[in-house]
Structure 1
Amino acid sequence: MLGILVTLLLYFCLISWIAYRKKGDEEDYYQVKKAVPVTVLAFSVFATLLSPISFLTLVGNAYTGRSYLWFAQCGIFLAIPLAHRYFLPLYQKGNYETAYHLLEDKFQSAGIRSLASGLFILYQLGRIAVVTYLLSQALEPFIPINQLVLSGLLLLLTVYYLARGGLLVVLWTDFFQGLVLLAILALFLPRIAQSGLIMNSSQQL
């Protein structure tokens, strides 16, 4: 297990170093103006939605007999067409870079933009705290380090590779994370099908 964690650590450092070497100007650092394969973007959306919160919670729900709750994750298939139909045209029409830029333009107020972005930052800080804590709980049996210390180390690692690589490193990290998750699913899907879990979940809905 320790070898796997060391490998992941080296992987994050390598990806951030490569992205740091390839990044261009400031706009490219934050927005990735260069072409990115559509598969990478798709995997990034998929992996972003599947955080340790949902990954661990779904397993816990399945263990306690509430495996049918995994159907709630299918909401993404409804959200993506709606976002493509109604939200993306707004950004493209006004050439907006972020939703906060759209809010500022709509209400003619930089304060609204600052308020919305500030609240989102606070939300993300809380989310990162929960995610790193859950991850440290999962790793504690394998690493003899205090949970708070481990959470801090994970946070520092995240800040390091994001600061060096920008948005590009986020996209490629999510891409490889999605590949790993799909590989795990392909490995265990035959056993899940044989166990009758999918059929039981469908009957409980």
Structure 2
Amino acid sequence: MNLPIFDLVVFLIYMVAIVGFGLSFSFRKRSALDFTTGGGRLPSWAIGMSIFATFVSSISFLALPGNAYLSNWNGFVFSLSIPLAALIAVKYFVPLYRKLNSESAYYYLEQRFGLWARIYASICYLLTQLARMGTILYLLALPMNALFGWSIPMIITITGISVIIYSMSGGIEAVIWTDAIQGIVLIAGALACLLVIFIDIPGGANEVFTIAASQNKFSLGSFDLDFTTSTFWMILVYGLFINLQNFGIDQNYIQRYVSAKTEKEAIKSTWLGSLLYVPVSAIFFFIGTALFAYYQAQPELLPSDISGAANSDKVFPYFIVSQLPTGITGLLIASIFAAGMSSVSTSVNSSATVILSDHFKKYIHPNPSEKTSMRVLWVASLIMGIFSILVGLAFNGVTSALDAWWALASIFSGGILGLFLLGFIVKKCNSRNASIAVSVGVLVIIWMSLSSYILLGDLAPFQNPLHSNMTIVVGTLTIFILGFILGSKKGRTTIDPAF
């Protein structure tokens, strides 16, 4: 499919403008602290939009409609867990990290349990970010593949190289301000897509609801108390644990807490980004449902090579390039592309910060000069960018990028939320007990992740019976409960009354 010349012009102008805007911040940063926190001078609304954009990225904009098109609104239950996780974050987590005044999310774990805890958590974080960046790069390639017919591996590689250059230049200020712009444009673009669907589908908006309701597309999933399949309760529990991990121990979020001018501003930004995502994610799911009705009513509009379940993530990109008015297509493709690049640059920036703060400064050079620190940040950004390209190439061909990302997030998280909660809530748990709990928790995570592949025959009853998304839940609970029990054996174990 060829892109009209006007759309191509809009796409190129927008991309050059947003990348140029991001690169302009390279002239403002003066130190490694500016690169990682923006000097603590960023306004709350921009940070809030950046938190929102961190949630959204191309994972939401492309994968959520694909997930709803393929099945129903079961995945939306994840969003319903965000307000509760945000409430806990603004009450406990934001004040904690503002008080510590460290750009590292894992400095606190070292204070509680020693250096091993900081290294362990930071490595788990880096693995999770590689999975996230790979998912985003793959999803970015889908609309460009539909647009130009270029190979997905080539698009992933070129995009990844562009992001590496962008990430090494702008720092956290560039990330946050470009995120704020992208968030606004993406919301407008999503609403525009829905409007086009309502106008173009025979029978109008009522037909969307009629077809979707007849196919049970608005279902939130089974309400059975079953954690072996994707039920309402399984997704809700999974979402709560993932979002507590995001707000409590994710470098992306902690950097935003400390980038705000004051604690009050940090709390405002957290609420803004969190609460905005819930209705916007509902819009994304509704787009997927509306697309299902749209192509059910007009099946001739959808090519046979895209209509299959294995290509559900490609349906929305195809709609964008084939059905949207000229000009809107170019703008939306550019905004998705730029937002994805901005999201990847967020992960690259935070990962580089972790490598500098939690690794280089800890066991290579405790007091590096500003020049050395910036050099480490640049090299770390380059390395993480290259590995993210390789992960993105590995994603090519997955049935649902959203499901794959959720599964990898559960595995790579390594139960670090359990370790954080253990240190934050159970005040008398010492380093030795925490290390034992983590070791057992990691074994549980490995078993839950790999048992279905390596246990056969008579050992089949010992396979993990739970849904793969429950890995983070069970791993977290194992670490927390075992650490609590071990701590109680040497005297009374106390739970922080503030929590």
Q: TM-score range by the shorter chain?
A: 0.7 to 0.9
Q: Deviation of residue 203 (structure 1)?
A: 6.7
1:126 corresponds to which residue? 131
2:469 corresponds to which residue? none
Alpha-carbon deviations, 1:40-99, whole Å to 9, x = none?
A: 111101111013223222212332351464343233222222111111122133333322
SS in structure 1 at match of 2:41: coil
Do residues 19 (structure 1) and 25 (structure 2) align? yes
CA distance in 2, matches of 1:203, 1:128: 30
CA distance in 2, matches of 1:36, 1:26: 16
1:40 corresponds to which residue? 46
1:150 corresponds to which residue? 155
Q: Name which of structure 1's ranges 11-20 and 45-54 shifts more when overlaid on structure 2.
A: 11-20
Contact 2:22–2:170 (8 Å) recurs in 1: yes
2:81 corresponds to which residue? 75
Return the structure number with greater helix share: 1
Residue identity in the other structure for 1:155: G
Summarize the alignment of residues 1-205 of structure 1 with structure 2, pairs less than 5 Å apart: 1-64=7-70, 66-67=72-73, 69-109=75-115, 111-187=116-192, 191=198, 194-195=205-206, 197=209, 204-205=219-220
CA distance in 2, matches of 1:202, 1:135: 26
Shift of the 112–72 alpha-carbon distance from structure 1 to 2, 3 Å rule, reads closer
Contact 1:2–1:143 (8 Å) recurs in 2: no
Contact 1:52–1:135 (8 Å) recurs in 2: yes
CA distance in 1, matches of 2:127, 2:218: 40
Q: Name which of structure 1's ranges 165-174 and 30-39 shifts more when overlaid on structure 2.
A: 30-39
TM-score with structure 1 setting the length:
0.85
Shift of the 131–165 alpha-carbon distance from structure 1 to 2, 3 Å rule, reads same
Shift of the 142–187 alpha-carbon distance from structure 1 to 2, 3 Å rule, reads closer
Which structure would you say has the larger Rg? Answer: 2
- Structure number with the bigger relative contact order (C-alpha 8 A, sep ≥ 6) is 1
SS in structure 1 at match of 2:148: coil
Contact 2:29–2:35 (8 Å) recurs in 1: yes
Contact 1:104–1:113 (8 Å) recurs in 2: yes
SS in structure 2 at match of 1:36: coil
SS in structure 1 at match of 2:39: coil
CA distance in 1, matches of 2:60, 2:188: 18
Listed as ranges, the gaps of 5+ residues in structure 1 are: none
Contact 1:16–1:169 (8 Å) recurs in 2: yes
Listed as ranges, the gaps of 5+ residues in structure 2 are: 1-6, 221-499
Shift of the 202–31 alpha-carbon distance from structure 1 to 2, 3 Å rule, reads same
Residue identity in the other structure for 1:151: I
Contact 1:17–1:165 (8 Å) recurs in 2: yes
Contact 2:53–2:183 (8 Å) recurs in 1: yes
What CA RMSD, in Å, does the superposition of the two structures yield over aligned residues? 2.7
Alpha-carbon deviations, 1:164-184, whole Å to 9, x = none?
A: 001111101210111012212
Q: Deviation of residue 189 (structure 1)?
A: 5.8
CA distance in 1, matches of 2:138, 2:106: 29
Contact 1:2–1:142 (8 Å) recurs in 2: no
Contact 2:137–2:156 (8 Å) recurs in 1: yes
Q: Deviation of residue 14 (structure 1)?
A: 0.8
Contact 1:51–1:131 (8 Å) recurs in 2: yes
